[in-house]
Amino acid sequence: MTSNETVVRAPSELEGMRRALDIARRGPANGPNPRVGCVLLGPDGEVLGEGWHRGAGTPHAEVAALTDAADRGASTGGGTAVVTLEPCNHTGRTGPCSEALLAAGVARVVVSVSDPNPVAAGGAARLRAAGVEVESGLLADEGRALLGAWLPSVERGRPFVTLKLATSLDGRIAAADGSSRWITSEVSRHHAHDLRAEVDAIVVGTGTALVDDPSLTARNAAGELHGQQPLRVVVGHRDLPSGARLHGPGGELIHVRTHDPAQVLAQLTEREVRHVLVEGGPTLAAAFLAAGLVDEVHAYVAPVLLGSGRPAMADLGVTTIGDAVRLITRSVIPLGPDVLVVATVSQHNDPHSTTEEH
C-alpha cells in the first residue's frame, strides 16, 4: 500500500508516526542496523509508550516502547503500534519484534516503510496471520529519508558508497608542488568530519595513505575524537610504514590488498558495513566510478584557482562528451566561502534524467 493509499483511522496515528520518526533520530546514524522509532497508542489515541533503537545488540524500537509502556503501568492490549520500519520477524542479536507485539496484545500496527531485508522481513505477514490489522506507507518518504544509506545498502546487497571530493574551482586537489593544505575552508573541513562521523568506513588508496599520511578520524570542532570512529580502510598492495598516522588513535585499520573496488565492498559487506566514504585519491575514485559503485558524490568546492597540480579524478576512459559520467544534483550548500554539491550518479547516464535511485 502506498502513502497515498494508506488509511489512517485516527489523527493520533499521523501524530504518532511523526513522533516515531523524531525519536528514531536519537539512534546512531551508522552501524549495521537502521534507525527505528515506535510509539504505542491506546484506543483513545493516548501515548502508552515509546522507544527507539539505540544500536546493534540493544532492544529494537518496538521492544523499547513496550518496556516504556510497562514502566508507565500502561496496558497495551488492543492498542496500536506506530513504527517507522516494518517489525522484524527473525531472531538475531534480539528476538522477533512481531512476536513481542503479539505477546503484548497489540491489535493494530501502522508502518512507514516495509523492510527490504530478506532476513528480517515478514513481520507484517506474521502479524496479519495472527489477526492483527497492519497498514503500511504512512509518511513513507520521510521514513525512507530517515533510513538514509541503510535502505539502499540493504536493497543493493552492498555498502552505500559516497565519494568525497575537496577541490579548487578548477578541479585540483593539490598544487604543482604537491601542497594541498588547505584548499577548502575550516567550515568545510568541520562539515567533512561530521560526515565521517556518520559513515561506517573511510576508504583511501595506498598512494593517498603514503603521500598524505592521513589519520582518517572523525573529530569535533575542538579537534577531539568522536566517540564512534569509522573503520579505516586502505586499498592497494604497498605496505604502510610502521609510523603512519593510520596506526594511531581512531577506528580499526584494515588493509585490503586489491585494486578491485568490488572486492573491497565484498569484504566490508561481510563486516555489516552499510555506508562507505571513499576519500581518495584520484586513482581510487576513478576505479569506483568506472566500476559503477559510486552512489553519491559530496564535492566540496573552494573559490580557488590553481591552474596545475593533481586533478581530483584519474582517467575514466571518457573520450567523448556523450560518455561522461552524469550526476543529478540533490543540493548545493554554502559552507563559508565554499560550496558543497551533493549529487547522485545518473543510472542511465542521461544528462536530462531526473530519475532518483533508491
* 3-class DSSP state of 211: helix
The model's pLDDT over 1-30, given as tens digits with 9 standing for 90+, comes to: 443 344 445 569 999 999 999 999 999 988
**Rounded Cα–Cα distance for residues 39 and 69 (Å):** 10
Interacting residues of 44 by C-beta distance below 8 A, sequence separation 6+: none
Residue 301 host element (H or E): strand 296-301
Q: Report the candidate in 130, 138, 105 with the shortest Cα–Cα distance to residue 37.
A: 138
The model's pLDDT over 273-308, given as tens digits with 9 standing for 90+, comes to: 999 999 988 999 999 999 999 999 999 999 999 999
If one compares 358 and 193, the residue with the highest pLDDT of the two is 193
**Percent of the chain residues past pLDDT 70, beyond the cut:** 92
The model's pLDDT over 23-60, given as tens digits with 9 standing for 90+, comes to: 999 999 888 999 999 999 998 899 999 999 998 889 99
Backbone angles phi, psi at 160, to 5 degrees: -75, 135
Residue 344 predicted with pLDDT over 70 = yes
**Please, are residues 113 and 83 in contact by the beta-carbon 8 Å criterion?**
no
What is the mean pLDDT of the segment spanning 68-87? 96
pLDDT of 3 reads 39
pLDDT of 11 reads 65
Say what the pTM is: 0.87
pLDDT of 91 reads 73
Calculate the alpha carbon distances from 41 to 1, 4, 10, 72 in Å.
Answer: 22, 22, 10, 13
What are the grid coordinates assigned to 185, written together?
575552508
pLDDT of 5 reads 40
**Rounded Cα–Cα distance for residues 321 and 267 (Å):** 34
Catalytic site residue from 5, 13, 50, 62: 62
Q: Report the candidate in 322, 330, 312 with the shortest Cα–Cα distance to residue 170.
A: 312
pLDDT of 181 reads 81
What is the mean pLDDT of the segment spanning 339-355? 68
Residue 220 predicted with pLDDT over 50 = yes
272 noted as active-site residue: no
Tell me the helix, strand and coil percentages in the chain, rounded to 5: 30, 25, 50
pLDDT band at 352 (very low <50, low <70, confident <90, very high): very low
Calculate the alpha carbon distances from 247 to 15, 120, 155, 265, 271 in Å.
Answer: 48, 37, 34, 22, 20
Residue 212 host element (H or E): helix 206-212
pLDDT of 295 reads 96
The model's pLDDT over 252-266, given as tens digits with 9 standing for 90+, comes to: 999 999 999 999 999
Residue 50 host element (H or E): strand 47-52
**Percent of the chain residues past pLDDT 90, beyond the cut:** 79
pLDDT of 93 reads 67
223 — alpha (psi -120 to 50), left (phi > 0) or beta? left
Residue 182 predicted with pLDDT over 90 = no
51 beta partners: 38
Mean pLDDT for the chain overall = 91
**Rounded Cα–Cα distance for residues 289 and 298 (Å):** 13
**Please, are residues 39 and 19 in contact by the beta-carbon 8 Å criterion?**
yes
